[in-house]
Amino acid sequence: FQLIHKKSVEEQVKDIVDKLRSIIALKSENLQLEIVVPAQYASQSYAVLKSVGSLKKEEWQNNGSLKAILEIPAAARPNVIDRLGSITKGSASVEVMQ
């Protein structure tokens, strides 16, 4: 497997884990996060969400904000929260769904 400079680290790690999973039994826990992003940060945040996990649901609100359900590996949670916090200056809401 070769690293590709044009792809994000998160995308490449996901590809690597998927390939390893087919060779050896790897178990990883996934989380579903409910994320709400204010309108002024929605487009930037949307690109990040698509790159770090699987968007299970997205709802664009009348006020331009984004409400999304994102599935990610549990270990990626701190990174996702940090990246969203950086983009939205702490104004995004992130909750783990049961």
pLDDT at 69: 98
Domains of the chain by start residue, with CATH: 28-96 (3.30.70.240)
Show the beta-strand stretches assigned E in the chain. Answer: 30-37, 54-60, 66-73, 93-96
pLDDT at 47: 93
pLDDT at 26: 59
| Residue listed under structure tokens 């940090």 | 82
Block means of pLDDT (10 residues each) for the chain, 98 residues, are 73 80 70 97 95 94 97 89 95 92
